[in-house]
A and B are shown apart, each in its own frame.
Chain A
Amino acid sequence: MQTPLKTTLSINGTRHEIEGDARLTLLDALRDHLGLTGSKKGCDHGQCGACTVLLNGRRVNSCLTLLCMHDGDEVTTIEGLGTPDTPSDLQRAFVDRDGMQCGYCTPGQICSATAMIEEIRQGWPSHASEGLEGEVAPTPAEIAERMSGNLCRCGCYPNIVDAIADVIAEEGP
């Protein structure tokens, strides 16, 4: 049998101590132990991006990491980005642009986009970038490449790109 492990970490600014099976993934801990079900399980193997959360500010697949490895870390989930009454700019833009249909991939898309905008600001290049150095122009092709780790079967990609472009345009580089 698996001996339980205790992990202490910050989730959406609140300290949580979770005692659980060492096999518990960060995703299952969020969903099943803390009731933070905004992070979705689409494939459980890092192939769809529905489970994307921010780990110490960076986007990761929470399904592919073990909770016990994250003692002391800071996690932000979709619930930490905004609420229906106080949504983040991206959350509002996704609604405005219909960047969702079934909604299952949506929290992962928005978490991913939140960190992705920051990556663009830091000048990280992408596979779609013409050059590796200098500022990144947030063209639809750049946004699409950078968001390709988040599958959407409903086919909302053009709307997702528009929503993200809106936020980048509003907030400036």
Chain B
Amino acid sequence: MNRHHKMDSADRQNRLDGMAQGLIGTDVPRPDGMAKATGTATYAAEERREGMLHGVLVRATVPGGRVADVDTDALAKALGDDVTVITDARLLQVPAQGTDGKAPPQGPDLVHYVGQPLALVVAPSFEVARHGARLLGIRYEGGEEGHFDPEDDATPTELRDKKTVDIGDLDAAMAKAAHSVDAVWRTPGHVSAAMEPHAAVAWWEGEHLTVRSALQMLKFNRDELADALGIPAENVRLLAPFVGGGFGSKLGISHEAVGAAIAARQLGRPVRVVLSRQQVFEAVMRRSETRQHLRLCADEEGRLTGIGHDCLVSNLPGQDFAEPVIQGSRFAYAAPNRHLSLRLARVNRTCAGSVRAPGEAVGLTALENAMDELAEAIGIDPVELRLRNVPEEDPTDGKPFSSMMMAEVLREGARRFDWQRRNPIPALRREGDPRREWLRGMGMSLLVRGNILDEAEARVRLLPAEDGAPVRAEVETDMTDIGTGSYAVLSQIAAEMLGLPMERVTTRLGDSALPPSPGSGGSWGAGSSGSSVYLACLELRTRLARALGCDEGELTLRDGQATGGNHSRPLAELLDGGTIEAVGHIEPGKTAKERRQATYGAQFAEVEVSRHTGEVRVRRMLGVFAAGRILNSRTARSQCLGGMTFGIGMALSEELEHDPRDGHLVNRDFAGYHIPVNADVPQLEVHLMEERDPWANPMQSKGIGELGICGAAAAITNAIHNATGARVRDYPATPDRVLAAMAVAN
């Protein structure tokens, strides 16, 4: 029996608040926590299979052309017959983009970027396979054509027409504005850098393929893998019960799963392929670098009269994905004159795709720097400037907001951070003594991120008491937990709805044989799969109510006891030894089109900057967030900490460096690509605000996984300005860039 619901109208029943178990929203610990803390949670590469072989991918060392010859002589001479070289035409050129559901470009004989996997060397041990991969000789032909710099005049670009917003007359508004900002920002490429490298273990049973892998979206990944291999999707099963982080990098099927599946088929044995960290950097998705031209203009009172945001991003030829930089600028602030555009340059660099919060992460950062500059130009407080420009409705398409907490997060953040202590004059200009090396400054930024609901199914089962054990519930969906807290949140929803303590709910995830969900990505995971669990539980409640003899609306479930309509019986009695189960099915509907749904945050940072060396240390940072109902305050807080930490990295240290001559990724390891370490991050403070959004989903929750990064970096660079007077518009704010900006400013 199923319960289906389509979000065609606001769901104001708000049933969760009426439940009795008292778990929803609380800081329930993640049930998988102890397995992770003791090392008993196993990840893809840890799957052990009898007779398993090991595969190592071989990279392209040129950025274009065709593979003329794969020379295996040296390899065969050194390693003999134990080693197999696979150059199957089905090997991927690039991983699939998120939610593609079909194979990405295949065929390893055509090279598009340095680092593209061209062959797979398979051997009985990892040590031998790695050695073999080194011995493979690849000869290339052709490939002189290539573009490596998105800003080079010779690089082909195309305007993404459908993204363009052109309302009013921005040029005229800029010309007659009382105050304006007109400048160019640049953000470098970023990578997700999930700590678990991409890994797959594949094995076949007859025509049936099973792959244990590190993936975020099994429903789509199954179709992608089947399509890549040319087999029916029904014959593919994917397993990903634990995934060591994703942040977009594991949205689509990638080289290792396809390679392992092909090799396992060919050799008749299980095959494991794990990307080296360097391969994860150069063969999996990067976030495009951006060039962002911001124009803001305002009247005397600081009301925006115009917003211009014209951006250049890049990707490989033929790739449709373009970092949607202007996504947040569509609705962040009211302004009658608007010009937003996105241009895509075609370069031979590692494929660009989704990295945590594509679009807003970098777009809001530049917009929020520009707002800080505008506040300075007008001479009003940066928080006040934002408060004066809270939109009444989506300023681009006129849709009403579903619920919106922009003003509230700004005010609450300012209060909690003691923002009023900030002196608007940069410390460097106030502090004359050159021996006072470290200059303090405070900055803030607004964060916005669109909210998305996607189709999801989940099965919930109530199991009778047996062998002295009480009634338990099981939740099943192919949803993944990539650190986001799915195990905790889905168990929590079921426990709340069914009136059971947390420990009596078990959630099974990460198996494509379970009911399909949209997976983890786009911050939609908890809202979508959570709603399907909620619906399944609603169906079970209806049946329990019938058994008890009351309406579902009257039913109270708590600690395994059902009460309603003057009856009260233990669940064990109601089930009477039987199991009941239901599948919940949520579908997005008209609410997605009729309302602008978004989450809001405000971040505040205090930094110290060395006037001598330009080093920056973040001393204090607060994030205030509103994302509808918070399902689990602990895992939600942790997601926000993660977003803020990404923000610190984006602000201060993260940068993909490409060689201008062949586009290759120069810093393709953790020694060269600097994600924040513990010492970069102070004891961050997170405050979650109460909100309900009936347009989002029946639980009235919104996604929170990416919000923390959407503009976070700007709070830090704005604080650098408040310390030094410098405007760092070229990210990241490494010592040299801070010094350069200080030289310009002073």
Could you list which residues of chain A lie within 8 angstroms of chain B, going by C-beta atoms?
Answer: 1-2, 21, 23-24, 28, 31-32, 35-45, 47-48, 50, 77-79, 81-84, 87, 91-92, 94-96, 98, 100-107, 110, 128, 140-141, 143-145, 147-162
Contact = CB atoms under 8 A, between A and B. Distances in A.
A35 B131 CA distance: 23
Interface stretch (B337-345, B461-469, B633-641): B633-641
Interchain residue pairs A-B with the least CB separation, the first 3: A38-B39, A104-B244, A103-B36
B645 A155 contact: yes
Contacts of A140: 682-683
Interface residues of B, number: 67
Interface in B294-338: none
Contacts of A148: 677-679
B684 A158 contact: yes
The secondary structure that dominates the A interface is loop
Contacts of A104: 43, 194-196, 244-245
Interface stretch (B258-266, B368-376, B481-489): B481-489
A99 B303 CA distance: 43
A45 B703 CA distance: 35
B653 to A, nearest CB: 12
B130 to A, nearest CB: 8
Contact of B678 (A42, A79, A96, A160): A160
A24 B127 contact: yes
Given A102-B196, A103-B242, A156-B638, A37 B485 contact: no
Nearest to A24: B127
Interface in B1-39: 29-30, 32-39
B671 interface: yes
A98 B45 contact: no
Given A79-B40, A101-B484, A152-B195, 8 more contacts: A28-B126, A95-B29, A102-B242, A104-B196, A144-B679, A151-B670, A155-B681, A156-B642
B37 A154 contact: no
Interface of B: 29-30, 32-43, 45-46, 48, 78-80, 125-128, 131, 192-197, 242-247, 274, 276-277, 482-485, 634-635, 637-639, 641-646, 669-671, 675-679, 681-684
A43 B41 contact: no
A114 B635 CA distance: 25
A81 B676 CA distance: 27
Contact of A23 (B127, B193, B635, B679): B127
A95 B127 contact: no
B127 A91 contact: no
A50 B670 CA distance: 12
Contacts of B40: 38, 79, 83-84
A100 B634 contact: no
B38 A41 contact: no
Contact of A42 (B33, B46, B192, B197): B197
Given A44-B276, A102-B245, A158 B38 contact: no
A151 B675 contact: yes
Contacts of A35: 48
Contact of A43 (B641, B645, B669, B681): B669
A101 B485 contact: yes
Given A98-B635, A152-B195, A38 B38 contact: yes
A161 B483 contact: no
B127 A21 contact: yes
B684 A48 contact: no
A37 B638 contact: no
A95 B642 contact: no
Contacts of A128: 679
26 contacts: A36-B39, A37-B42, A40-B196, A42-B277, A43-B197, A43-B669, A44-B276, A45-B277, A77-B39, A79-B39, A87-B34, A95-B30, A98-B634, A98-B637, A100-B37, A101-B245, A102-B196, A103-B37, A103-B483, A104-B196, A144-B681, A148-B678, A149-B677, A155-B644, A155-B676, A157-B645
A81 B127 CA distance: 29
A9 B483 CA distance: 34
Contacts of B637: 98
Contact of A155 (B242, B641, B683): B641
Contacts of B635: 98, 101
B214 to A, nearest CB: 9
A40 B193 CA distance: 15
Best-surrounded residue of B37, B242, B244, B246 (most CB of chain A within 10 A): B37
Contacts of B35: 84, 103
B244 A103 contact: yes
A37 B482 contact: no
A145 B247 CA distance: 25
B196 A83 contact: no
B277 A40 contact: no
B34 A37 contact: no
Given A41-B45, A47-B669, A102-B245, A155 B642 contact: yes
A160 B641 CA distance: 12
Nearest to B639: A101
A102 B671 contact: no
